């Protein structure tokens, strides 16, 4: 299946239009350097609105709900997947010397239908086309490659540019119709002529029929030759070139399914050691495995678990301890896990407890019963590192997202909303008031909108640019450029 | 001093026990509904099913423990029953320590439509399920055996009747409640069966 979008290279035109808009909305009064709460992470990081993608209509088509966001390794491309099985790739425009105050914006580069809904006739069940994860491969030539997966099938897509086309075929005319051989009197060599840039996406590999349960993670190995896909009970290792077989490296399915008490929730390869990977579970544990130890990595090399705090025990303890995301730091020295109420940073060398724990929205602890009733307690939030591993970010409800600076121990709550969407508008920190007097600009816990959840966020690999998915809108924020 | 504090809390617990048990029962019912209301067309989320089932098992286990508590332990019980008490110490700490006299009415009432919980003095603002501040729970694992026996002795034999005394019959059918208390195991089993049925087909 080929999808393409004609891309005009006249970015200057876009820049002029944007400039006109921003000049009518000046930045305003100069900002104080240090504001308590807004706070400098390092060198006064202030986050500004940059762009928002998606419709402004209040009625959201379910198919438009963004289900995954991922920058590529250089940050030049930003991919989103949605519930309708589509992938949209944005490309950062080249920075022009004319606009020093504005960094490159992301514009649509390619859109294609990655997965279609399917029907499993054996089980009489639908297979959703929702894109669960996208992972980029490092760029090795002019084309870009990414993996996208739904619940059952992983696909390798090649995204490439075409700016020339062959003209002067002998057997076909310019519209592609076959010519009558009797009319061909001379032979000519087709030549490549320039054309409008076309970006096309083609599925190069389809890795199917290897997962009985729902795929929750994919991870490209640092050897760039293999990758893994993880479902609720099994993890498979693939070679990019081979689609008709995969190696099963983890299998936690019990012989008697009635004894099932724990499932795999996320998995990731170590960023540098191609033999090492981790996977998290619904019981709040992380296992690190070494593929050199055995073919089936059922025995972990390391087992990370924090002892339960008896003073915090409730019927919901297990549910909120279930890890929804696990991410290695860029350095490979730490792993970060997200459970329902906290983000934790673990040192690979210490298994008995995390080295850092950050409260994302502890005010929800007394609301767990309601959140269980409306199913929000099962929401799977993701978490991300910044490029230098000094700041971590994760989402919350009411379109809030949180950042934690590991060095200064300061944190901030920001909001992705249309109200804060003026060009280069600085995001104001938000605060949730737990009880007692509510200050102006604070929002009380009971006023939070639990249907507005930020599950998916991404951080540019080297710059302070973040992408935040709020239901069907994608917000891009950048730090303020002085 | 510890014993006195315990006695006071015991009084509060006795008032809160019916409300707590009702809410626990609602949680159990809700969980089973969740397991059964799986999307017909799309395969159910296994992680969610497992977590709900595990929660059910926890509730059932605690309800079974409560069942044991209701039966007065004979004073002249031999070594065997002492062992039983010791082995259930941890569970009983979690169960009874988790009871709060004043669950947040706004939080629960709208969902459960339960008889409004009694506002006991000194109640915590936290939810019924969550655990409160450290004062009640510090050293909960290090209670002496004497304190546990004291707890047992003060347990009223008519607890089961109290449990049903103020049930709002418009919400709870008495049969359902009784079934829940006594047949908790069966309901859990049904839930597990459902999950297994779905999985076995795969």
d(CA A12, CA A246): 48
Q: A292 and A258 in contact (C-beta within 8 Å)?
A: no
pLDDT digits (tens, 9 = 90+) for A160-205: 999 999 898 998 888 888 988 888 889 999 999 999 999 999 999 9
Kindly tell me if the per-residue pLDDT of A97 is higher than 80: no
Kindly tell me if the per-residue pLDDT of A235 is higher than 60: yes
Q: Which residue has the higher pLDDT, B112 or A307?
A: A307
Q: A178 and A264 in contact (C-beta within 8 Å)?
A: no
pLDDT confidence tier of residue A482, bands split at 50, 70 and 90? low
Average pLDDT over residues B106-128: 38
Kindly tell me if the per-residue pLDDT of A99 is higher than 90: no
> Following CA atoms A451, A452, A453, A457 in sequence, which dihedral angle do they give, to the nearest 10 degrees?
150
Tell me the CB-side half-sphere exposure of residue A402, using CA atoms within 13 A: 25
> A70 burial class (0-12, 13-18, 19+ CB within 10 angstroms)?
buried
Mutation for testing the A interface, residue in B32, B44, B54 having most A CBs under 10 Å:
B54
> A439 burial class (0-12, 13-18, 19+ CB within 10 angstroms)?
exposed
Dihedral-angle region of residue B113 (phi above 0 means left; psi in -120 to 50 means alpha; beta otherwise):
left
d(CA A218, CA A268): 7
Q: Which residue has the higher pLDDT, A204 or B132?
A: A204
Kindly tell me if the per-residue pLDDT of A246 is higher than 80: yes
d(CA B111, CA B91): 27
pLDDT of residue A297: 84
Distance from chain centroid for Cα A197: 27
Closest by CA position to A219, among listed A164, A149, A152: A149
pLDDT of residue A392: 98
Kindly tell me if the per-residue pLDDT of B113 is higher than 80: no
CA distances from A450 to A41, A364, A394, A406, B133 (A): 28, 11, 16, 28, 26
pLDDT digits (tens, 9 = 90+) for B165-178: 444 444 434 333 33
**Which residues, in sequence order, are CB contacts of A171 under 8 Å at separation 6+?**
A178, A179, A181, A184
Closest by CA position to A284, among listed A317, A312, A314, A323: A323
> Following CA atoms A56, A58, A64, A65 in sequence, which dihedral angle do they give, to the nearest 10 degrees?
110
Distance from chain centroid for Cα A380: 13
pLDDT of residue A294: 87
Closest by CA position to A343, among listed A353, A354, A328, A332: A354
Contact (CB<8Å) A265/B106: no
Kindly tell me if the per-residue pLDDT of A4 is higher than 80: no
Q: Which residues of B are less than 8 Å from A370 in CB distance?
A: 107-108, 111
pLDDT confidence tier of residue A100, bands split at 50, 70 and 90? low
Kindly tell me if the per-residue pLDDT of A325 is higher than 60: yes
Shortest Cα distance, chain A CAs vs residue B76, angstroms: 32
pLDDT of residue B42: 72
Say if A209 is an interface residue toward chain B (CB within 8 Å): no
Closest by CA position to A135, among listed A208, A230, A54, A43: A230
- Six-digit token pair at B25? 């029962």
Contact (CB<8Å) A260/B50: yes
pLDDT of residue A423: 85
Q: Which residues of A are less than 8 Å from B20 in CB distance?
A: none
Phi, psi (deg, nearest 5) at residue A393? -135, 145
pLDDT digits (tens, 9 = 90+) for A55-74: 877 677 899 999 999 999 99
Average pLDDT, chain A: 88
Kindly tell me if the per-residue pLDDT of A103 is higher than 50: yes
pLDDT of residue B197: 60
Phi, psi (deg, nearest 5) at residue B66? -60, -40
pLDDT of residue A389: 98
Q: Which residues of B are less than 8 Å from A318 in CB distance?
A: 51, 54-55, 58
pLDDT confidence tier of residue A36, bands split at 50, 70 and 90? very low
pLDDT of residue B14: 56
Question: If DSSP states are collapsed to H, E and C, what string results for chain B?
Answer: CHHHHHHHHHHHHHHHHHHHHHHHHHHHHHHHHHHHCCCCCECCCHHHHHHHHHHHHHHHHHHHHHHHHHCCCCCCCCHHHHHHHHHCHHHHHHHHHCCCCCCCHHHHHHHHCCCCCCCCCCCCCCCCCCCCCHHHHCCHHHCCHHHHHHHHHHCCCCHHHHHHHCCCCCCCCHHHHHHHHHCHHHHHHHHHHHHHHHHHCC
d(CA A215, CA A132): 8
Give just the sign of the alpha carbon dihedral B144, B145, B149, B155. positive
pLDDT digits (tens, 9 = 90+) for A194-227: 999 999 999 999 999 999 999 999 999 999 999 9
pLDDT of residue A174: 80
In terms of CA atoms, which chain A residue is nearest residue B33?
Answer: A373
In terms of CA atoms, which chain A residue is nearest residue B133?
Answer: A311
Q: Which residue has the higher pLDDT, B25 or B10?
A: B25
d(CA A247, CA B119): 59
pLDDT of residue B68: 56
Q: Which residues of B are less than 8 Å from A372 in CB distance?
A: 27, 30
CA distances from A69 to A31, A369, B72 (A): 32, 30, 59
pLDDT of residue A334: 98
pLDDT confidence tier of residue A253, bands split at 50, 70 and 90? very high
Contact (CB<8Å) B55/A261: no
d(CA A106, CA B171): 55
Q: Which residue is associated with the tokens 């075409």?
A: A162
Q: Which of A212, A265, A315 comes nearest B202 by C-beta? A: A212
Contact (CB<8Å) B51/A318: yes
Average pLDDT over residues A299-307: 94
Say if A368 is an interface residue toward chain B (CB within 8 Å): yes
Residue window 427-466, chain A: list those with CB within 8 Å of chain B: 435, 446
Q: Which of A141-150, A397-406, B82-91, B106-115 has the lowest mean pLDDT?
A: B82-91
pLDDT of residue B190: 55
Q: Which of A155-159, A309-313, B46-50, B97-101 has the lowest mean pLDDT?
A: B97-101
pLDDT of residue A55: 82
DSSP letters along A425-453, please? Answer: PBPPP-EEE-SSPPPTTEEEGGG--TTSB
pLDDT of residue A57: 74
Average pLDDT over residues A396-415: 96
**How many Cβ atoms from other residues are within 10 Å of residue B169's Cβ?**
9
Q: A262 and A226 in contact (C-beta within 8 Å)?
A: no
Closest by CA position to A285, among listed A322, A254, A310, A312: A322
Contact (CB<8Å) B51/A314: no
Q: Which residue has the higher pLDDT, A281 or B61?
A: A281
């Amino acid at each position: 299946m080929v999808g393409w979008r004609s891309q005009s290279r006249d970015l200057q035109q876009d820049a002029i239009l944007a400039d006109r808009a921003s000049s009518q909305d000046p930045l305003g009064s100069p900002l104080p350097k240090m504001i308590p709460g807004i706070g400098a992470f390092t060198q006064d990081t202030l986050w500004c609105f940059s762009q928002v993608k998606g419709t402004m209509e209040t009625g959201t088509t379910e198919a438009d709900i963004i289900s995954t966001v991922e920058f590529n390794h250089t940050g030049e491309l930003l991919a989103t997947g949605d519930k309708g099985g589509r992938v949209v790739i944005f490309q950062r425009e080249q920075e022009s010397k004319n606009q020093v105050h504005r960094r490159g914006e992301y514009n649509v580069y390619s859109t294609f239908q990655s997965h279609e809904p399917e029907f499993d006739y054996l089980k009489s069940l639908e297979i959703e086309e929702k894109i669960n994860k996208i992972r980029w491969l490092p760029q090795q030539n002019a084309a870009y490659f990414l993996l996208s997966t739904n619940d059952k099938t992983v696909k390798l897509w090649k995204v490439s540019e075409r700016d020339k086309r062959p003209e002067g075929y002998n057997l076909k005319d310019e519209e592609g119709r076959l010519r009558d051989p009797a009319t061909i009197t001379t032979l000519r060599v087709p030549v490549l002529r320039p054309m409008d840039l076309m970006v096309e996406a083609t599925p190069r590999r389809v890795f199917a029929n290897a997962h009985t349960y729902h795929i929750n993670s994919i991870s490209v190995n640092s050897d760039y030759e293999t990758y893994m896909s993880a479902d609720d009970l099994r993890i498979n290792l693939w070679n990019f070139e081979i689609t008709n077989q995969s190696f099963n490296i983890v299998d936690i399915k019990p012989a008697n399914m009635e004894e099932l008490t724990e499932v795999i929730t996320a998995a990731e390869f170590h960023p540098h050691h191609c033999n090492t990977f981790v996977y998290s579970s619904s019981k709040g544990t992380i296992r690190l495995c070494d593929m050199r130890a055995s073919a089936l990595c059922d025995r972990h090399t390391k087992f990370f678990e924090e002892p339960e705090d008896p003073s915090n025990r409730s019927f919901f303890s297990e549910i909120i301890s279930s890890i929804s995301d696990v991410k290695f730091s860029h350095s490979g020295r730490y792993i970060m896990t997200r459970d329902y109420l906290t983000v934790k940073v673990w040192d690979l060398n210490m298994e008995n407890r995390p080295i850092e724990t950050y409260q994302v929205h502890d005010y929800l602890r007394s609301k767990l019963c309601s959140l269980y009733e409306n199913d929000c307690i099962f929401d799977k939030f993701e978490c991300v590192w910044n490029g230098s591993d000094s700041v971590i970010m994760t989402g919350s409800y009411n379109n809030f997202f949180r950042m934690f600076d590991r060095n200064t121990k300061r944190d901030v709550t920001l909001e992705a909303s249309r109200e804060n969407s003026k060009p280069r508008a600085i995001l104001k920190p938000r605060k949730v008031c737990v009880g007692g007097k509510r200050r102006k600009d604070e929002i009380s816990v009971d006023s939070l909108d639990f249907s507005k959840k930020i599950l998916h966020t991404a951080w540019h690999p080297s710059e302070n640019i973040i992408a935040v998915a709020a239901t069907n809108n994608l917000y891009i924020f950048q730090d303020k450029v002085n | 001093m510890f014993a006195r504090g315990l006695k006071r809390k015991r009084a509060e617990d006795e008032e809160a026990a019916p409300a707590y048990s009702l809410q626990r029962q609602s949680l159990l019912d809700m969980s089973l509904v969740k397991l059964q209301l799986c999307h017909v067309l799309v395969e159910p989320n296994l992680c969610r099913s497992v977590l709900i089932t595990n929660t059910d098992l926890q509730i059932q286990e605690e309800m079974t423990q409560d069942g044991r508590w209701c039966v007065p332990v004979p004073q002249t019980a031999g070594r065997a029953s002492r062992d039983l008490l010791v082995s259930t110490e941890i569970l009983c700490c979690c169960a009874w320590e988790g009871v709060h006299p004043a669950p947040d009415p706004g939080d629960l009432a709208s969902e459960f439509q339960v008889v409004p919980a009694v506002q006991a003095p000194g109640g915590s603002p936290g939810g019924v399920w969550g655990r409160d501040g450290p004062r009640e729970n510090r050293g909960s694992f290090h209670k002496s055996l004497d304190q546990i026996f004291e707890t047992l002795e003060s347990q009223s034999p008519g607890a089961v009747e109290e449990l049903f005394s103020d049930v709002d019959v418009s919400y709870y059918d008495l049969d359902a409640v009784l079934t829940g208390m006594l047949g908790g195991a069966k309901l859990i089993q049904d839930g597990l069966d459902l999950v297994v049925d779905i999985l076995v087909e795969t």
